[in-house]
Chain A
Amino acid sequence: MGFLGPLRKRAMDAFLKQGLPGRKSEEYKYSNPEKLFRGASIKPESLGLESVNFNVSGLEKKPSVLDLKKLDKALQAFEIKGVSENRVVLVNGVYIQELSALPDMPEGVLICSLAGALTDYRSLLEKHFSKYADVEADPFIALNTAYAGDGLFMRVAEGVTVGKTIHILNVITDEASALLNKRNLILLERSAEVDVVESTVVVSEEVNVGRNVVNELSELILDEQSRLRFYRMQQDCEGLNLISTVQVLQKASSHFDTHTITLSGDWMRNNLNIVVDAERCETHLNGLYITRGIQHVDNHTLVDQRKPNCESNQLYKGILADKSTGVFNGKIFVRRDAQKINAYQSSKTILLSDDATVNTKPQLEIYANDVKCSHGSSTGHLDEEAMFYLRSRGLSEESAKRMLLYAFASDVVDTIRIEPLRAYANDLISKQLDFDIKK
């Protein structure tokens, strides 16, 4: 397997050295993954790390023809008109050609399974695969690199603008391994432009009780002057425990715009690591999470500004009901040479119940002297004065609540540039808020 064998070995060693993060880990302090592996069918010692085979076909099986028919039907529920016309379906990380359709791709767009790319586009993979996500930096990056069987490979060639949005349907089914490692590599060459929407959904015949742990990793490379909009919709993921790492490299004058919208899932950890390694880049990070029950959602962002004259904007908002818990940890590094950086961060949370909690931690480390950086965070209950104001005008308590929460969430949703996706997201959010309000 050439380069992959030694890489997997190194990754495994790195995982064994780091081990699963526990409560003492600074990075996983409020999201202790040990509990996901405790009492479940997965135990670190039973992972069989020493006996892993270095076969990229991986541990996941492709669904049978019969299952594909069922899946095709089930997936209609997640279609977004104006977005899903060009779609790629991954089932438990395995690229499913039969369910994918890409009618509007211009020349220069390459989309295939990662496992397939390993033979067909070997030199590209050798150059980029695992070159950005550091196996020493996080045990889950290591674990993914050691195990990942399949996923998506996408390359947009130099100068190509993809006019139509590409919808990735990231499907998890009952057949997924107890610990599923999946991997994407998205490569934008010079001046390439594309909009990608990724919906993560669970398709299950039974009520999922949170057996699965999905450890996914995407490496995104934005070459000079390229532009990527990357929207993630974590919806209909009941029962899912997800560790999702997105590792981004931005080169000169590139533009990265991303949204992470989490409306479902039992235990969700999003790591968004962005290395801005050249001048005149723009980076926009937006997040919205709406939780209930005993859900747990953790957003960890890292923007590493290494070079001058860049701008980054961050806006994360959370609405937490019941006994749910949230975490926002936003790190911004501004390196010594990175002068004239504008970096802003804002995190706001509304707690709908006294039992909901959120831990917010902005972390700015600035080593350059000519920069503009700011951060702000607020956590509170719904503004009682605003509630009274609206009710005193005749609005029911329910309507007033809905209006205030919807307005709060809109700040994030309104920045979605794809109109049909914005409408779709608004619709999902109103439905979810209605549910939380009527309780």
Chain B
Amino acid sequence: MLSIKNLKAGIDGKEILKGINLEIGAGEVHAIMGPNGSGKSTLSSVLAGRTDYEVTGGEVLFNGKNLLELNPEERAREGLFLAFQYPVEIPGVSTINFLKTAIAEIREYKGLPALEAKDFLKMVKEKQALVELKGSLASRAVNEGFSGGEKKRNEIFQMAMLEPTLAILDETDSGLDIDALRVVANGVNKLRSSTRSFVVITHYQRLLDYIVPDFVHVLFEGRIVKSGDKELAMELEKKGYGELTR
């Protein structure tokens, strides 16, 4: 599904990713862990198409397409979703309103017929229930005045609505208390399927108790220095990054 080969990227002339290699198959959940400054957020930003980052080498294939040549909306329409670490507040634009436009444009891109209003609303209700998001929140301006937990739940709600084939969760656990974490993880688990893959970027092993990964990778100084299964996350929790990255 996603194939990253020797990806190098940086910002303002400073190289942050120094050759990432990663293969993600359909239905797999990959966790990427690493200390601050290891390049975790750079990786998610480069994959989603944030323009501040410059790709200096390597390639990324997403379902056979050259991902790096696509603009952010094309990536989304091809099935990529990024759950933001810091979801943006957008005054005057409601989540429902922009999702309606987004879904219409995605369906047009895929050559699918437009979604009927009543089907859209039905879908909204269903997906809101999935992440226990109050109905009124989705009609309000995007993330404006939302609590940290509500913002993250809103991210997962949007993910559920857009039905991506690959979702990148960028430190979705940051700023969440244990109850909110459980709700968010629960939402994600319900969306797991044999055709949908996840990249879970996190600092702590805690999230992985709820979203159990198939693979765990340790990112350090712009490279994946170790890969394993969920046991690796346990090990990291016990020993810290120090020993593993030495």
A interface vs B, CB < 8 Å?
Answer: 383, 385-386, 388-397, 399-400, 403-404, 406-408, 410-411
Contact = CB atoms under 8 A, between A and B. Distances in A.
30 contacts: A386-B88, A386-B90, A388-B50, A388-B51, A388-B72, A389-B87, A389-B88, A389-B90, A389-B142, A390-B90, A390-B93, A390-B98, A391-B72, A392-B49, A392-B76, A392-B81, A393-B76, A393-B81, A393-B102, A393-B162, A394-B103, A395-B101, A396-B105, A399-B105, A403-B101, A404-B93, A407-B93, A407-B141, A411-B91, A411-B92
B92 A407 contact: yes
A290 to B, nearest CB: 16
A403 B93 contact: yes
B210 interface: no
A410 B94 CA distance: 13
B99 interface: yes
Interface of B: 48-51, 71-73, 75-77, 81-82, 84, 87-88, 90-93, 97-99, 101-103, 105-106, 109, 141-142, 158, 162
B98 A403 contact: yes
B92 A394 contact: no
Given A385-B88, A386-B88, A403-B101, A391 B76 contact: yes
Contacts of B90: 383, 386, 389-390, 404, 407
Given A385-B88, A399-B105, A403-B101, A392 B72 contact: yes
A354 B7 CA distance: 34
3 nearest A-B residue pairs (beta carbon): A407-B92, A394-B76, A391-B72
Given A390-B102, A395-B105, A404-B93, 9 more contacts: A389-B84, A392-B75, A393-B162, A394-B76, A394-B103, A394-B106, A395-B98, A407-B92, A411-B92
A81 B88 CA distance: 39
Contacts of B87: 389
Contacts of B77: 394
Nearest to B49: A392
A92 B91 CA distance: 41
B8 to A, nearest CB: 22
B98 A393 contact: yes
Contacts of A383: 88, 90
A49 B150 CA distance: 68
A403 B100 CA distance: 12
A394 to B, nearest CB: 4
Contacts of B49: 391-392
A226 to B, nearest CB: 33
Interface centre among B81, B90, B141 (most CB of A within 10 A): B90
Contacts of B71: 391, 397
Contacts of A392: 48-49, 72-73, 75-76, 81-82
A400 B90 CA distance: 11
A397 B141 CA distance: 19
Contacts of B50: 388
A390 B102 CA distance: 8
Contacts of A410: 92
Contacts of B84: 389
B162 to A, nearest CB: 7
Interface centre among B49, B75, B91, B103 (most CB of A within 10 A): B91
Contacts of A404: 90, 92-93
Nearest to B80: A392
Contacts of B106: 394
A399 B101 contact: yes
Contacts of A391: 49, 71-73, 76
B162 A394 contact: yes
Contacts of B102: 390, 393-395
Interface centre among A389, A406, A410 (most CB of B within 10 A): A389
A317 to B, nearest CB: 11
A395 B142 CA distance: 15
B95 to A, nearest CB: 10
Nearest to B95: A393
Contacts of B81: 392-393
A400 B75 CA distance: 15
Interface centre among A392, A397, A406 (most CB of B within 10 A): A392
A218 B63 CA distance: 66
A280 B84 CA distance: 48
A386 B144 CA distance: 12
A400 B101 CA distance: 9
B102 to A, nearest CB: 4
A97 to B, nearest CB: 44
Interface centre among B50, B72, B81, B103 (most CB of A within 10 A): B72
Contacts of B48: 392
A434 to B, nearest CB: 14
Nearest to A396: B73
B159 to A, nearest CB: 10
Nearest to B86: A385
A331 B48 CA distance: 46
B108 to A, nearest CB: 10
A411 B92 CA distance: 8
B81 to A, nearest CB: 8
A392 B71 CA distance: 9
B163 to A, nearest CB: 11
Nearest to B76: A394
Contacts of B158: 393
A400 B97 CA distance: 11
B16 to A, nearest CB: 18
B99 A393 contact: yes
Contacts of A408: 92
B45 to A, nearest CB: 9
Contacts of A390: 90, 93, 98, 102
Nearest to A395: B102
Nearest to B97: A403
